[in-house]
Amino acid sequence: MPIPGDRRAWDAVATLSGGDVAFEAETRLLDVQALERRVALKQRDGAVERIVLLIADSAANRRAIELHRADLRASFPLDARAILGALRDGRRPDGSGLVML
């Protein structure tokens, strides 16, 4: 983060054609609203436009995503195919998105 003393950090940042992409990885989705708030604040303070939320592919996380699909879609509108296709081509995705791994 560009704020002096701020200890928050993205899990990874890639500089691609079109700009930077920040990656936030979660192994367990417990509180989707808290996750969205935390990522939104990091996005604002870190001056990054595109976020890729990486979620561990587990039964519990799939259930959480199903329960909160509309909320997550508002913050992370692109699906894995769009995100991974852009990254494969070395370019910044057209928006933020969610990828289960």
Q: Yes or no: say if 22 and 56 are a contact pair by the CB < 8 Å rule.
A: no
Tokens of residue 38, six digits: 């935390």
> What b/e readout covers 43-64, taking b as 16+ CB neighbours within 10 angstroms?
beebebebbbbbbeeeeebeeb
In this predicted model, what pLDDT tens digit does every residue of 48-97 receive, in sequence order? 999 999 999 999 999 999 999 999 999 999 999 999 999 999 999 999 99
Give the pair of three-digit tokens for residue 98: 């969610």
Spell out the domain ranges in the chain: 12-100
The model's pTM is: 0.90
CA 20-23-29 angle, to 5 degrees, is: 155
Give me the mean pLDDT over the 29-45 stretch: 92
pLDDT score at 2: 66
